Chain A
């Protein structure tokens, strides 16, 4: 009864699949790995996108912002009247140096004022604990959650803040998050260091008094009407604020937090494409190997089916179905693993970014995409084998196959064969006779190895980036940023700070750079010649001098401007006197972090007609006097910030280890599955094809070891051929991938790391050896008698 429900061919199909179960498992596993990453990345991207949109909508994230020196409160009314401005909020913002018993180095905070009348209409706060400050109590403040957590600050805790040169004692009444501060980093820092930098919200009156800004504001934030042209609105805002020292309105693309989130999503997309594509390719290879083998051994069945009158298409469909079963198993695995992976990653993101909520969900289209991709991959793998089945004429299929003709393979190998024993000749001839099959195995192993090379290269790339950035480019212990530019003479005072061994001035200006139709807002740094602490980096990670004349551009910046050495570009100050000038690009430099422009400090001062003005200083410190140094600068009002390079390095390394490190283990695990899958499939197929010859060798009196040599030897020759190919592929892939991951913030460049290659080679060969060992066990079970009875 039950049996009758199955078409006999379907029962045969199940038997076929069972026979191919090892291959099927390998295919499903490889598809599962690749497509789970696809589902996770695409789903995570969509989830992040949605979460961001919801967060922004629920808490009125600003569309535009403008920073200015100061403007009277009445200007707000003018701004409100600009067409398409839906809402405007004026604020007082600034920075404070902080001190608390648990803080060793001075921490700092971004200060933001809260409106006098109730909650902000733009950039509202998501209150985690506590309450809003009482407008009548100047000392009450709300702090950002990450900062509070990092320093163990609770409601009621006190914090000393130096604001505008005066010391205030603040009381924490609330802990909150905000859409504009999803990602928080100190000015000039690229990584969040929650223990060193946070956000503090205070009442408008309190901050106005602290900054001597009563009746004025220095930040304006806007929400636009739906469909508004933000460029036109920006222009109108700039017009309205021109008299008040505005450095120009800017959109979300220049808001650090939003930009970082976008960057993160871009990388998720990169990941959604790269890794899965790789795995689909491997899956196709594995299907091709497995199905090709089954069809080769099924010649007579195929002949029978055709002789019974099954149409070609029915035969093709019969064999294609088993491949589709593989695809379904892989896609199912991927769907489940993708959701699990996605949830785990969502937990990480939620904690890291302090989103009010973030739930991973992938939509039906994503799953459908994964299933379609799985089916596509196995179909491509199956099509060649199935085509062979279709082309087989029934009569030909029913006749016993003649021995494979090796005459074609004798050319080159005959010359070589003279030097080889007969067993080695068998290996050589098989590879030569079936070059496509050998190539399939070689490419499969090489692809797995390439992935290992890439994943092995990641840590090296990171190490290189960190080493160059912190050991060659930035050797200072601390960088002090002044609240306002100072005369160079201040260096005498800086040098006399406790523990300072050596000090080096720098100048930084926010500018707009233009070349052709390109316009980029960036910072230009002025550096002294013969700098010992903060230095420019040239092509190969070595320090170079600032340009004697003209301007040097970071490679990424030069690419965005499409400017090359020799070109003249326009430079315009964003604040201050807004001086505009033309300047020649003298060279391209390769900083590891950031993509700024660089000049020598004297040229930059002359260019903006403020010679001998500096923005801050890099310091080398005596570690023994670290405490004394910190004690002094915590109470130095002229400082806007102090960035501690060793801590920045640590937090950067930590972030890399957590992010890239975890991803990397995943990559290595996936590469291992891939290498193992390919090696195992190849070994199984080689064994199946050679079974008869190997049994014959045993009959002739060859020992198991000698017979193993023929089997394992072929695999190893192919694996060895795969080594150079895998290294080359991995290198190309690495270079390409580093370009994909390249952002304005980091310049990843592929680093040749012999250790990484050695690992990839050793690991691949170990996989092949393990696979060969397992398959070699089959030699013990060879049926010597059976093989003599009949052909296949």
Chain B
């Protein structure tokens, strides 16, 4: 296969010597060390690595939730490093859809209303029905999070993330709290959306099996990219097992 990096004329994300340090002195933790990375628009990438290797830190910096200690991060032609809080908020609002291990739904809003929440601040969003239909939850739209199973809650979170048709979908261990069957359904939704809307998608996992559905797999260890592997034979989520 061709190198995706060279094929993509304008990368969605580009980092150079990206580092992140928590604390200082002898107790400082180097969560990221000199990460150089290019991610093409529409790519589906899996970040794989052991716990504590810096995957979430990278994802949070790419999503504008956290700031780099040094180095550069660009989204298209804009530098995230140069943005103030207001601009970062705007960046998240315009372009980023997040999905987390613990769903982070608003418990006082129904599935539909959780989706409506982001639709209110999006420019040309999907309808809540469309978004929930995509994740197979059209019939549970008026349920509150407490009335849904973990997998269903995570699919609402996916619907919430995709409703604004984000340029970027950042998923931090989206199946971490789910069993195989429900995990597969969530991943299916993610792959489907990546295909349909060409959202640049990053999926963090410490599960090697999940990595088989990415176009590229970035292996992470100790805050560094160890190797980037291009996936010759992508596997649909339904064939995964863990």
Contact = CB atoms under 8 A, between A and B. Distances in A.
Interface of A: 402-407, 409-410, 417, 421-423, 425-426, 429-430, 433, 692-693, 696-704, 706, 784-785, 787-791
A703 B86 CA distance: 7
Contacts of A788: 60, 65, 100-102, 104, 172
B109 A426 contact: yes
Nearest to A706: B121
A703 B118 CA distance: 12
B104 A699 contact: yes
B144 A425 contact: no
Interface in B64-116: 65-66, 86, 89-90, 92-94, 96, 98, 100-102, 104-110, 113-114, 116
A701 B94 contact: yes
Contacts of B121: 700-702, 706
A700 B146 contact: no
A404 B108 contact: yes
Nearest to B113: A422
Contacts of A426: 106, 108-109
Nearest to B90: A701
A700 B118 contact: yes
Given A406-B107, A422-B120, A425-B108, A701 B102 contact: no
B147 interface: yes
B151 interface: no
B104 A785 contact: no
B120 A421 contact: yes
Interface in B105-158: 105-110, 113-114, 116-118, 120-121, 142-147
A697 B118 CA distance: 9
A417 B65 contact: no
A786 to B, nearest CB: 10
A403 B102 contact: no
Contacts of A692: 104
A438 to B, nearest CB: 13
24 contacts: A405-B147, A406-B108, A406-B109, A410-B142, A417-B113, A422-B120, A429-B108, A430-B108, A692-B104, A696-B105, A699-B92, A699-B98, A700-B92, A700-B117, A700-B160, A701-B93, A702-B121, A703-B86, A703-B89, A784-B65, A785-B66, A788-B102, A789-B56, A791-B102
Contacts of B142: 410
A123 B181 CA distance: 100
Contacts of A790: 102
A406 B146 contact: yes
Nearest to B102: A791
A405 B89 contact: no
Chain B CB count within 10 A is highest, among A692, A701, A785, A787, for A701
A429 B102 contact: no
Contacts of B144: 403, 405-407, 410
Nearest to A784: B65
A693 B107 contact: yes
Interface of B: 56, 60, 65-66, 86, 89-90, 92-94, 96, 98, 100-102, 104-110, 113-114, 116-118, 120-121, 142-147, 160, 172
A451 to B, nearest CB: 33
Given A422-B120, A703-B89, A404 B107 contact: yes
Contacts of A403: 105, 107, 144-146
Contacts of B145: 403, 406
B51 to A, nearest CB: 12
A407 B65 contact: no
B160 to A, nearest CB: 8
Nearest to A427: B108
Contacts of B101: 788
A417 B142 CA distance: 12
Contacts of B117: 422-423, 697, 700
Contacts of A704: 89
Nearest to B110: A410
Contacts of A701: 89-90, 92-94, 96, 118, 121
Contacts of A706: 121
Given A407-B146, A702-B121, A429 B66 contact: no
B205 to A, nearest CB: 16
Contacts of A404: 107-108, 146
A410 B113 CA distance: 12
Contact of A696 (B60, B96, B104, B116): B104
Contacts of B107: 403-406, 693
Given A403-B146, A701-B121, A422 B109 contact: yes
Nearest to B63: A699
Nearest to A422: B117
Contacts of A410: 110, 142, 144
Contacts of A402: 146
Contacts of A430: 108
A696 B99 CA distance: 11
A785 B113 CA distance: 23
A702 B113 contact: no
A666 to B, nearest CB: 42
Nearest to A700: B118
B87 to A, nearest CB: 11
Nearest to B161: A700
The interface centre, meaning the residue of B65, B101, B105, B107 with most chain A CB atoms within 10 A of its CB, is B107
A433 B108 contact: yes
B109 A425 contact: yes
Nearest to A695: B104
Contacts of B105: 403, 696
A42 B121 CA distance: 61
A402 B177 CA distance: 14
